[in-house]
Amino acid sequence: MRLDRKMIFLAITVFITACQADDAPSMEELTPGIMAGELPLLAGTNRIGMIEGFNISNPQATRDSIVAKWSEAKNSGMTVGRLQLDWSELEPAPNTYDRPSLQSRLENLNAQGLQPFLLLSAYDSDGPTVPTDLEGIRFNDERLIDRFKGLLNWVVPLLIENGGWALSISNEPDNSFGELPSLSSDIKSFARAIRDHVHTISPKMAVTVTFAEGNLASHSNEIAAVLDECDIACWNFYGSFLDTENLTYAAKSVEEIRSSLKAVLGLSGIKKSIIQELGMHIGLDSSEEIQRLFYQTFFEQMETESQLEAAFAFQLVDWSPDTIDFYTASFDTESFPPGLLDAFSESLATIGLLDQRNGQARTAWNELMLWTTRFQ
């Protein structure tokens, strides 16, 4: 059952009225989850951001275009940034931390006037990202939970110091809910424990888990259960779907995009929501115009949905061939039906707002800048 916002506010008001003594607890002490859920550390509303991409190198023309377009986005009103790291990257050995790796990136965003949203993934879309000595331990195990708390004891203050406003602790664990029936319950326990711990450090820091919109149909109950332990809802949202009959990624129609977003916000309930990954490729059965229309359709809806607080374009530039090869090298290719891996690679090779080969901007770039300016 989902509680009405007015009922929640009334209950809090009555409780506070009954605690008017001089030693009464503060609002933050009474309702740390609700405080964090209102995103008090985020300046403004309806913020648009993006990530550059994951390529180690790009052609010179592309590098020049990236610098120019990033500057254009900031001048158009972009005020939020996003970072993504795995737990094992920051803790390469037990209780040994790589603080400079995170600090330099946070400081870089802060220096640009971009408030960071941090994805510090303990469980990613293809499995756990824990330190080696914790591999094989369930996510409801106190040993694993305590170690992640230890990491966050310095990560959260550093994030706040650099203007951070929200933290996601897992990326698309729902991809594994079908094959690992106990995982959703374990992630729920993990999320509850980590949220409560983060609130002891800062009652205003929002904690969440990122889910894939494409898993709503098959795992809505499990996703909803984990969402109950999150301050805000966080989603990855794309303009295509896996066409299992034709073994490809097919573009959604405008109505399908609207329907998908309605389903996402419906499951999010009254929680404020952010879109961690917002993207659409131009390859396969898509095109530049379909990509542009996806962004237009989404932002038209975002403008009318007060609970949608921020969205990050995925991503500025296409994946390079070398990056795709590196990413897919660990895949069990025998488990992919013939042609599907090629389709997946093609979607990554054309996902950007800039052509990786020459840095040329696609029409969706102008659409993104239009809305970034409009949401100022």
- The pair of structure tokens assigned to 115 is 């408030």
Give the amino acid at 123. Y
- Domains of the chain, first to last: 5-374 (3.20.20.80)
- The pair of structure tokens assigned to 297 is 């359709």
- Identify the pLDDT of residue 294: 98
Cα(367)–Cα(278) distance, integer angstroms:
13
Per DSSP, helices labelled H in 18-120 are 27-30, 32-37, 60-76, 87-90, 99-111
- Identify the pLDDT of residue 331: 83
Cα(264)–Cα(212) distance, integer angstroms:
9
Q: Can you tell me whether residue 278 is helix, strand or coil?
A: strand
- Identify the pLDDT of residue 34: 53
Cα(230)–Cα(328) distance, integer angstroms:
31
Per DSSP, helices labelled H in 135-286 are 142-161, 183-201, 216-227, 254-268
CB of 341 closer than 8 Å to CB of 331: yes
Sheet holding 233-238, edge to edge: 47-50, 308-313, 273-279, 233-238, 206-212, 166-171, 115-121, 80-86
- Identify the pLDDT of residue 21: 34
- Identify the pLDDT of residue 45: 73
- The pair of structure tokens assigned to 164 is 């951070």
Q: Can you tell me whether residue 314 is helix, strand or coil?
A: coil
Q: Which of 301, 305, 345 is nearest to 321 (CA)?
A: 345
- Identify the pLDDT of residue 6: 34
- pLDDT means per 10 residues, the chain with 376 residues, are 34 32 39 75 89 95 98 96 97 96 97 97 96 97 98 98 98 96 97 98 97 96 98 98 91 97 96 98 97 98 95 98 92 80 95 98 98 93
